[in-house]
Copies of this chain bind each other. A is one copy, B any other.
Amino acid sequence: MSATLAELAARFGCELRGDPDLVVDTVGTLTGAGANAVSFLANPLYRSELSRTNAAAVILEERFQAGCAAAALVTANPYATYARVAEFLHPPPLPVPGIHPSAWVAEGAQVPESVEIGPLAVVGRAACLGESVVIGPGAIVGEQARIGEGTRLLPRATILERVVIGARCVIHSGATIGADGFGFAQEEGAWTKVPQLGGVVIGDDVEIGTNTSIDRGTIEDTVIEDGVKLDNLIQIGHNVRVGEHTVMAALGGISGSTRIGRRCMIAGAVVMVGHIEICDDVLVTFHSTVTRSITQPGTFSGALPADEAKRWRRNAARFRSLDEAARRQLRERKDEG
């Protein structure tokens, strides 16, 4: 797709500073963009690159416009505007309706004519797909699962029985939704499986990353609300609830029955114990261990940065006797006093 800068400015509500007739047909980074590309400045760190960019135009805030070597598409939210421009110039492929002959669709599954089902995919008995759903190659939809309109399952995504997914979701390769939660009762030194009878309910506009696991509830449902974005290799335990528009980066985990509020931002590799509650608008920084409920919005941290090994080892050794040293010191001061 190509467009003039004037067309982009009009369509995406930007103020244009520069030649309205310039034609662009792709996007690029400030340093990599050519004369046919639109770039953007979202992170002020890269500001210095504005003066050297070869882009046709740069999407940016008013305050950075002065130093820009290219035409400027001025907007209050350059990153979101960039996202829209990029999608406009590179529209995602539309579903190609039809069921691939190598796929297996069970009798009784509801598959509207607008649905695309790829090679070697499986749609189980009594599953129900909405309009324009895409089931990628090798993806699996379990029995009685429901997939909302416009949702896309990428290759090898796995949706197990009775899981409910809303509209316009993206479920990436290897994601597994609706496996049994990890529930076992201890008895005479061994473990008895606790049946996992609940489901998983996922709202609209949710994105679930590759190889992420979301377990079904023990009795009631695990719930992922509208607009949640989960990155790759995340574990969501049984009975968890994640609130609207919360985002969570890769390699994190939420243990069973924990509830996360709305609009939280959870950085990569953050893990949370079970049975706690995180309120709305909480930000947790990289690789933190959350062990208690959080009842006030704010930012929480919990990782010690890596250090040169020799110094780290000495400090870690001190940590190991931190309490002992404090007690000794207290005694000494008392003796002195």
Is B315 within 8 A of A27, CB to CB? Answer: no
Which residues in chain A, 303-337, are within 8 Å of chain B measured between CB atoms? 303-309, 311-323, 325-326
For A137, the chain B residues whose CB sits under 8 A away are 104, 122, 124, 140
- A146 touches B (CB below 8 Å): no
- A199 touches B (CB below 8 Å): no
Q: Mark A168-195, 1 if CB is under 8 A from B, else 0.
A: 0010111010011011111101111111
Which B residue's beta carbon lies closest to that of A180? Answer: B172
| Residue among A210, A229, A301 with most chain B CB within 10 A | A210
| Contact A298 B303, CB 8 Å, known A251-B235, A322-B315 | no
For A102, the chain B residues whose CB sits under 8 A away are 102, 104
Query: Bound state CA distance, A251 and B233, in angstroms?
Result: 9
- A154 touches B (CB below 8 Å): yes
Query: Bound state CA distance, A305 and B21, in angstroms?
Result: 57
Is B172 within 8 A of A179, CB to CB? Answer: yes
Is A306 within 8 A of B312, CB to CB? Answer: no
The size class of the interface chain A forms with chain B is 35 or more
A324 to B: closest C-beta gap in Å: 8
Query: Bound state CA distance, A301 and B313, in angstroms?
Result: 8
Q: Mark A251-262, 1 if CB is under 8 A from B, else 0.
A: 101010000000
Among A2-10, A66-74, A288-296, the stretch in contact with B: A288-296
Within 8 Å by CB of A309, from B28, B29, B235, B300, lies B300
29 examples of A-B residue contacts, CB within 8 angstroms: A29-B219, A79-B185, A80-B186, A90-B195, A138-B158, A156-B158, A158-B173, A172-B180, A173-B176, A174-B176, A189-B245, A190-B227, A190-B245, A211-B213, A235-B251, A235-B268, A237-B250, A253-B268, A271-B286, A284-B306, A286-B289, A286-B291, A299-B308, A300-B312, A302-B307, A305-B320, A314-B322, A315-B323, A319-B322
Task: List 5 tightest A-B contacts by C-beta distance, closest first.
Answer: A302-B306, A314-B323, A80-B185, A301-B312, A288-B306
